[in-house]
Chain A
Amino acid sequence: MTGSRLFAAVLVLGLILGAILLNSPLAVFIHLPSVLLVLGVTLGGILVSHTPAKLTGGIRGYLSRGRLDPAQADRNAALFGQLADLALASGLVGPLIGIAIILTNLDDPAKLGPPMAVCLLTMFYAVVCQLVFHSAAADCLARKEPPRKPRPSADRFAWRKVVGLGVVAGGLVVAIVLHSPPLVLLHAPSFCLVAVGTAAGIFLSHTPSDVRTVLAGFFGSRDLEEPEAQDGFALYSRLADLAVEMGLIGTLIGVVAVLQSLDDPTKVGPPMAVALLTLLYGVLLSELVFRPAASDCLVRAGVTQDPARSRRFHRIMGLIGMLNLVLLSFFVILLAIVNYGRGPYVGPVGWLDGETPDVLLPELDVVFPFGAGPSSLLEEREHACASVEGYVICTEPTPLALAKRYCESLGGAMVILETEQENRRVGGLLDRLSYRAVWVAATDREVEGQWNWPDGTKLAHDPWLVGEPDDMGEEDCASMNLHQGDPHHGGEWNDVGCEERLGVVCELDEPVRKQPAEEAPMEAEPPVAEEGKGASGEEGDQ
């Protein structure tokens, strides 16, 4: 192992590690079954065609210094090429198994995130392995022949290449400016990962002097000798592959991070965009800079492209394309499921006995279905919420942060049950409405055992169920309406983990009034319905 290769390996791994740490905790990226799958499948596949002795021989050849015997180099390159293909295949097998598993429990789309992330981890390991194996294969081929001295000759500067690169860059800039605010498409960490990763990765397979010789000849215009051209072609092709591989690694890191926070779909967009940007940079570099440079080398020597090499490339591109198809269709499914919850009213959403709130509370002023509030998951699910005399009660299980935001979007807050009387009143409503637990705004996050309301006041009464709060496994938030088959415990509390999903009770500053029946635009778009409600509410106040 020469110094430059060791340094390159450390740099590439460091970049990948940095990109991981920027996006999510490292622990997310350590998953033993995925490692096992990639390693096991790659090892099993290679043992079908190679004896263990040949395998260790190939690895020893890669780690050694100096030139390799040409026949030996070819054999080793074939070995590593096959290892890379196997790694890529295992990266496709992992997600497919994972998706098949996920499809069997589709109940809660927000819970699909972590298992999906695990599927993507297999792909991540596979692409990293593939990068290493490809580098090793390219290294074996590059070390087949003795180093060539650069031929110093009078060489005219090829201005057409500057023009070509300029036109490509200019066209891109114009297209980007026309399409979107330009800064959206600039993301320094992603670009750093791809560009620096590619630049470092080339030293895994080529010595610095090789790289210098080839790059120095790029802007020249003289004809090349055939071996020289093949060297250049190999180097630029490797650079092109590296750019795509680094792009894919960046995308996978980003997508895994995104899937960790799937419970709040409004936040998924921007990081997802950044994730795809890495792939964009990789493909741009690869297809617009390195591949043209590679074919330029061949053209200058008057050689046609090696058919075996291009076929290999297409096979890999085919696999990657299939992979994208799988992912794409899976995301479509995911979207469909998320939307399914917001579809037309198909049945009671957590209300008692399958009745609706206005039937359950006939003597009270109930607005149902109730849908209002911008930018929240709940806004579409109007049948999950009902407004009851200054409170809005939703049975849809929701993360605490989202519940809080939902109440704020209605112009209120999560209910604060300051007095025992109010606690009993809300509990009584819940008893008659639903069997689902709801969030209580109080927490003991600051001081364990000291329950405070969000406005800082201490909990003044004792609403707890017998034996609670027990803080079993770090429970710092509270719920009420733990039904337990007996509908008379609505006002009693239990402590729960803050990561749970529960219903919510909001207290509004201004109660929502019932609209006249003929005006109720049930099928209309939510914003229109909201305006109608607001207007009628104001009239009622006057």
Chain B
Amino acid sequence: MSTRTWLAFFLLFSVIVGVTALGAPLHVIVDFSALLILVGALLGGTLLAYSTGEVRRLLRAWTTPGPMEPVLALGAAALFRRLSGLSIGAGMVGLLVGLVPMIANLDDPTLTGPAMAVAVLSLLYGVVLSELVFRPVMADCLGRGRLSPENSTPDTLRKGVRS
């Protein structure tokens, strides 16, 4: 990973953590059940589609600085697109898991607060990972493979996985 990538991730997370810290103690945005849903979905969903060796190969391709082979770039981009979809999906699942008990217990606000927190935080984790981590990384892979976004339709990405 190049310095630029490290710098970018540092900027992303320090801004998010910093803005939170301005408003409240940091533990407010940590929720273990939301994290559990997310990690479970990411691990499970990836292992359903990829072997561990394949994942390691593609991740190593991304972390090695410099231009990427187009085929490898397509494969890595497909992996990150999949991860991005999975994390948004996990966020939605967490949101619903949180919302259902909340709506069932509307008459008792002491229970709605924590339930709502799970809902909101899992969506937050999902959005941050998908939109701010995996999608930019995907674009990075495509760029380093000298591929324009036009030829990164799901079809070509799928071809990249197979090759």
> Which one of A20-28, A89-97, A272-280, A289-297 is at the B interface?
A89-97
Please give, as numbers and ranges, the residues of chain B lying within 8 Å of A75 by CB-CB distance. 148
* With A44-B15, A89-B132, A93-B127 already in contact, 18 other A-B pairs whose C-beta atoms are closer than 8 Å: A33-B19, A37-B16, A37-B19, A40-B11, A40-B15, A45-B131, A47-B5, A48-B8, A48-B139, A49-B137, A85-B131, A93-B128, A96-B120, A96-B121, A96-B123, A99-B120, A104-B28, A322-B92
Contact of A329 among B119, B137, B143, B153 (CB under 8 A): B119
Q: Indicate with 1 or 0, residue by residue over B130-146, a CB within 8 angstroms of chain A CB atoms.
A: 01110111111001000
Please give, as numbers and ranges, the residues of chain A lying within 8 Å of B140 by CB-CB distance. 48-49
Q: Evaluate contact between A74 and B12: CB separation under 8 angstroms.
A: no
Let me know if B53 is at the binding interface, CB within 8 A.
Answer: no
Mostly, the B contact residues are helix
> Which one of B37-45, B64-72, B102-110 is at the A interface?
B102-110
Task: Decide: A100 near B120, CB < 8 A? Known: A325-B95, A337-B109.
Answer: yes
Q: List 15 A-B contacts (CB under 8 A).
A: A36-B15, A41-B12, A44-B8, A44-B9, A44-B12, A46-B8, A47-B11, A48-B137, A49-B140, A89-B127, A96-B120, A101-B24, A103-B120, A104-B28, A115-B23
Q: Evaluate contact between B153 and A307: CB separation under 8 angstroms.
A: yes
Please give, as numbers and ranges, the residues of chain A lying within 8 Å of B162 by CB-CB distance. none
Q: Indicate with 1 or 0, residue by residue over A107-138, a CB within 8 angstroms of chain B CB atoms.
A: 00000000100000000000000000000000
Interface residues of B in 1-38 (CB under 8 A from A): 4-5, 7-12, 14-16, 18-20, 22-24, 28-29
Let me know if B90 is at the binding interface, CB within 8 A.
Answer: no
Let me know if A156 is at the binding interface, CB within 8 A.
Answer: no
Q: Evaluate contact between A49 and B120: CB separation under 8 angstroms.
A: no
Let me know if B99 is at the binding interface, CB within 8 A.
Answer: yes
Please give, as numbers and ranges, the residues of chain A lying within 8 Å of B103 by CB-CB distance. 332
Let me know if B112 is at the binding interface, CB within 8 A.
Answer: yes
Q: Indicate with 1 or 0, residue by residue over A44-58, a CB within 8 angstroms of chain B CB atoms.
A: 111111111000000
Let me know if A189 is at the binding interface, CB within 8 A.
Answer: no
Q: Please, how many angstroms separate the alpha-carbon atoms of A330 and B102 in the complex?
A: 11
Please give, as numbers and ranges, the residues of chain A lying within 8 Å of B10 by CB-CB distance. 44
Interface size on B, residues (CB 8 A): 52
Let me know if A237 is at the binding interface, CB within 8 A.
Answer: no
Please give, as numbers and ranges, the residues of chain A lying within 8 Å of B120 by CB-CB distance. 96, 99-100, 103, 326
Please give, as numbers and ranges, the residues of chain B lying within 8 Å of A33 by CB-CB distance. 19, 22-23
In the complex, how many angstroms separate the beta carbon of B64 from the nearest chain A beta carbon?
Answer: 16
Contact of B102 among A49, A88, A99, A329 (CB under 8 A): A329
In the complex, how many angstroms separate the beta carbon of B140 from the nearest chain A beta carbon?
Answer: 4
Nearest chain-A residue to B25 (Cβ)? A104
Q: Evaluate contact between B116 and A329: CB separation under 8 angstroms.
A: yes
Interface residues of A in 1-51 (CB under 8 A from B): 33-34, 36-37, 40-41, 43-51
Contact of A340 among B99, B109, B132 (CB under 8 A): B109
Please give, as numbers and ranges, the residues of chain B lying within 8 Å of A89 by CB-CB distance. 127-128, 131-132
Q: Please, how many angstroms separate the alpha-carbon atoms of A333 and B105 in the complex?
A: 11
A37, A45, A319, most chain B CB atoms within 10 A: A45
Let me know if B124 is at the binding interface, CB within 8 A.
Answer: yes
In the complex, how many angstroms separate the beta carbon of A189 from the nearest chain B beta carbon?
Answer: 32
Please give, as numbers and ranges, the residues of chain B lying within 8 Å of A333 by CB-CB distance. 102, 109, 112, 116
Q: Evaluate contact between A46 and B136: CB separation under 8 angstroms.
A: yes
Contact of B113 among A88, A98, A103, A329 (CB under 8 A): A103
Let me know if A479 is at the binding interface, CB within 8 A.
Answer: no
Task: Decide: A82 near B19, CB < 8 A? Known: A93-B132, A101-B28.
Answer: no
Please give, as numbers and ranges, the residues of chain B lying within 8 Å of A329 by CB-CB distance. 99, 102, 116, 119
Please give, as numbers and ranges, the residues of chain B lying within 8 Å of A504 by CB-CB distance. none
Q: Evaluate contact between A97 and B7: CB separation under 8 angstroms.
A: no
Q: Evaluate contact between A93 and B124: CB separation under 8 angstroms.
A: yes
